[in-house]
Structures are given as C-alpha cells and as structure tokens.
Amino acid sequence: MRLKSTAYTAHHRPRFVAELRDFIRFPTVSAQPKHAGDIDRCARWLAAHLRGIGLQRVNIVPTARHPIVYADWLRAPGRPTVLIYGHYDVQPAEPFEAWRTPPFEPAVIGDDLYGRGACDDKGQMFAHVKAIETCLKTQGRLPVNVKCLFEGEEEIGSPNLKPFVERNRLNLAADVAVMSDTRMLAADQPALTYGLRGGLSFELEVSGQKSDLHSGNFGGAVHNPLQALCEIIAKLHDAGRRIAVPGFYDRVRRWGAAEREFMASNGPSDEQILRDAKTGRGWGERGYSLYERATIRPSLSVTGITGGYQGTGVKAVIPARATAKLNFRLVPDQDPVEIERLFRQHIARITPPAARTTIRSFLAARPALIDRHHPAMRAAARAYELGFGAAPVFLRSGGTIPIVNHFQELLGAPTVLMGFALPDDRIHAPNEKFHLPNFYRGIGACMEFLAQIGSGRYGQ
C-alpha cells in the first residue's frame, strides 16, 4: 500500500509542481480590493481541482468578502473525521522591486519554488490535496473521513470564517483539525507547533493643519504630523524595551521553570534566530531568550509608515497627515478587546495638543495553545517520522492563526499544526519560496497522518 502510493507521488511530481505553479499564478492578495476577481477565479480553479481528484461534495461558499472552498469525502463510517484547513489567499507582494523573480510568475530555481504564496500557504495546503489524490487514486478510498476547509481571508484575519464555522458547527464536526502553515526548525528537523500568539492590528493617523504647508514658511511654527507620529511611536516602548501601554502586561501568563526549560532545550537558540533573521544583534525585553521574546512574550511592531514626500530628492513640505500601521502580538491570557481599549486610551493620553489622532482597527485574534500530549499530536509525530525520517520537536510560534482558537471553541477539536516551511522561506517577504523536497515529503507525511488517525491507535 505504502509502496504503491510512494511510486504514484514519485511518478507524478512534475505534474504536482506544475499544478502548484498554476495555483500560485493567481494573485490572491486578500488585503487589496483590486484582487477580488483573482481570488474568485482562484477559488473556482481550486474547487474544480478538488472535484478532479475525487472529493465528493465541493462547494464555493460566498462570504461578505472572499469565498471559502469546502470539499469532503465521508465514506468511512465509524472512522474518525479529520478537518483539513488551509488558505489560498496570500500576503501583499510589495515591494515588487525587491523580488528577483516576479511574485506571481512562480519559478523553480534549484530545489526551490519561488513566488508569493509558494510556502504560505498554497504550497503547504497543496501537500494535503496531493496526499488525498494519492490515497484516492492508489487505494480508491481514504483511511478516515475528510472535510477540507480552504479560506481566502487568512491574511486579513479571517473575518468571515468564524461566523461560517459557527453557522455550520454540525456539518464541520470533526475529531481533529490539521493544517500546514507553520515552520520546521530546519530541513531535517520537523516541528509541531503547540503555541501561537494572538494578533491585533491598527492604522494610526496623525493629522495637524488642513493641508500641506511649505516647510520654509511654516517650519518651527506648527506641529508637524510626521514628527508627532514619530514622537507617539517612540512612546510605545519604554527604556526597558517593554510595551509602554499601561496595563498591557497585567494578564500576560508567567510560565514556570519546567516549561521554560522545555522551550530552551527544544526551541531555537538565540544564535539560530539571529541567523534566521540575518542580523547580528537581537533586541527586546530583558530576562528572556529571543525565542521566548518571540513566543511567550507579547510584541508591538511598526509595520509601515507613510507621510510627506516619498519621491526622489527632496520636497520642502510639512504634510497635513501621516499614518503608521501597527501590529501587536498577544500571548495567553491577554484579551484583544481589552488590549484595544488600553491602546486607544494610551494613544489619546500621549497625543500632543496640536495634533489629532484617529485609530482604525484591523484583525484581532486570540492567542492559542495546543496540548503537546494530545493523541492527535502523537499521530502527527509518527507521520513526520515516516514522512521526513525524523521525530518532530515541539515548538511555539510567534505567529497568529486565528482559526485555531475558533476550531477549539466552536468544534471542540484540537488543531494539529504540522508545518513544512523552512526558516529561510521568507514568508511575508520578497522572494518567498517553498523547498520542493519538503513538498514531496509533506505529501507523504499528510498521507501518514490520515493513516495514523484512521488506525485507531490514537484514541481521543
């Protein structure tokens, strides 16, 4: 059985890669309204593909923004049900000029496939799709019942997925959820993620006078919104590099020595993180390793600033307004609603008298924890051993996957985060790539995961 499927995937690799390239060619940037049509086209392509490999019911579910693609195969009565989640939307590709190959013209260079979404998450979710295809084509059946839930809004915080899951609680019922949208520690070192940070994003606009002014005629006599914005941002961290919003740390969970020792011996070292970040020097809160700062401690990143003249050379202008994009990462037991309230109060408090600030909220997601000792985690560990030839380490991630919490809360199903991304795959950055050997081994691991869950060896 295993031999047959291995031969099938080996034989069809070139076609699998060609299909993945077709998938990546759709510029499914969920944050940018101009790409709404591309997202619809991609959803239709994906649905047709899922029908083609033999899944039963395949639906494109419209939402207030970007559609959900649902597909299932439920012909294993008495066997467990696995909910496979993935997302076919991608991060914006900007800055385009930093890409060595165009982001939506996927290119294979050596062992890597380059393109926006190659890794996050089209490539990784496609490993599950190809695993299902391989099982169905070589065995005529799957070892478990499968429900696929592929959304087009993950990169904008999944605003319509939670209501969808809420409404379809019964239809989506599953024993375990699995997704591949996280990192391995290294090419030969798979990892199961058991912690995710929450997220909370804002756009902060500072406005001063009604229109742009000449910096010669008015410089020194009016408050410059760009300067005010910088002064506000400089007040968001204190001298100890902690976030300076009063009350911000009140609910941050303190972990005991056992957990911190587990993290130290299983997680990346400071050196490894600095190597991954391609920088010589770390930063952040005293008393914590870089791994801890990026996982069990919250953070606040300025992700973009726009204001004034941005062209070549100089322009003598005091701009009328300036904006910053800010991204909080939250940890247990912080509550995004409470943090937003504290943040808004703090901004109101530190806004200089001659400036006005307005705040727009974007995605808000709670942090998530998955029990390392859950049977489904053991099944995933075994799947990695068989697919990658190595037992996984248990890692926390600093990233955010909003749906993990929703699955837990609404379906009562734990989510296995069985990622195939490498630390240098540059997800969210220019020249994102997917390491193709991980695609091939990932297909194997996905098949093994279904087989392990189907074997009944991992009772819930």
Return contacts of 7-14, CB within 8 angstroms, 24+ apart. Answer: 8/134, 8/137, 8/138, 9/130, 9/134, 9/440, 9/443, 9/444, 13/440
Closest to 427 in 3D by CA, of 120, 43, 61: 120
Q: Per CB under 8 A, does 303 bind its own copies? A: yes
Q: Per CB under 8 A, does 300 bind its own copies? A: yes
- Relative to beta strand 191-196, strand 393-396 is parallel
User: Which region, judged by CB under 8 A, interacts with its own copies, from 235-243, 382-390, 409-417, 435-443?
Assistant: 235-243
Which one among 71, 83, 229, 393 touches its own copies, defined by CB under 8 A? Answer: 229
Residue 417 CB, shortest distance to its own copies, in Å, is: 13
Which one among 256, 313, 373, 459 touches its own copies, defined by CB under 8 A? Answer: 313
Give burial (CB, 10 Å; 0-12/13-18/19+) of 46.
buried
Which one among 101, 168, 189, 209 touches its own copies, defined by CB under 8 A? Answer: 209
Q: Per CB under 8 A, does 167 bind its own copies? A: no
Residue 314 CB, shortest distance to its own copies, in Å, is: 4
Report the side by side order of strands in the sheet with 198-207: 321-330, 198-207, 356-365
331 within 8 A of 285, measured Cβ to Cβ: no
Please give the residues from 323 up to 362 whose contact with its own copies meets the rule CB under 8 A. 324-325, 327, 329, 353-354, 362
Which one among 174, 318, 339, 368 touches its own copies, defined by CB under 8 A? Answer: 318
Q: Per CB under 8 A, does 267 bind its own copies? A: no
Q: Per CB under 8 A, does 230 bind its own copies? A: yes
Q: Per CB under 8 A, does 249 bind its own copies? A: no
Residue 248 half-sphere exposure toward CB, CA atoms < 13 A:
21
User: How would DSSP label each residue in 355-377?
Assistant: -EEEEEEEEEE--EE--TT-HHH
Encoded amino acid at 247, one letter: G
Q: Per CB under 8 A, does 91 bind its own copies? A: yes
Residue 409 CB, shortest distance to its own copies, in Å, is: 21
Residue 169 three-state SS:
coil
Using CB under 8 A, count the residues that bind its own copies.
95
Which one among 10, 97, 110, 211 touches its own copies, defined by CB under 8 A? Answer: 211
Enter the tokens of residue 258.
């056992």
Residue 23 CB, shortest distance to its own copies, in Å, is: 21
Q: Per CB under 8 A, does 285 bind its own copies? A: yes
User: Which region, judged by CB under 8 A, interacts with its own copies, from 12-20, 64-72, 420-428, 442-450?
Assistant: 420-428
Encoded amino acid at 429, one letter: A
The distance from CA 358 to its chain's CA centroid, rounded to whole angstroms, is 27
